Amino acid sequence: MNLAGALACVILFGLLLHFTRIIPNSRAVIARARESIGVMRDPALDDHAREKAIQAHSLGMFALLGKLCLGAVIALGVPVILLWLVARAGWLDFDAVMALMLDPWFIAATVVIAIVGFRLARR
Domains in the chain: boundaries: 2-122
Structure confidence by residue, pLDDT tens digits, 69-110? 999 999 999 999 999 999 999 999 999 999 999 999 999 999
Distance CA 16, CA 75 (A): 5
**pLDDT, tens digit, for every residue of 19-64?**
999 989 999 999 999 998 888 888 888 888 888 888 988 999 999 9
Annotate the chain with DSSP letters as a single string.
Answer: -HHHHHHHHHHHHHHHHHHTTHHHHHHHHHHHHHHHHHHHH-TTS-HHHHHHHHHHHHHHHHHHHHHHHHHHHHHHHHHHHHHHHHHHTTSS-HHHHHHHHTSHHHHHHHHHHHHHHHHHHH-
pLDDT at 66 over 80: yes
Its pTM stands at: 0.81
Distance CA 29, CA 38 (A): 14
Best CA proximity match to 101, nearest among 89, 115, 83: 83
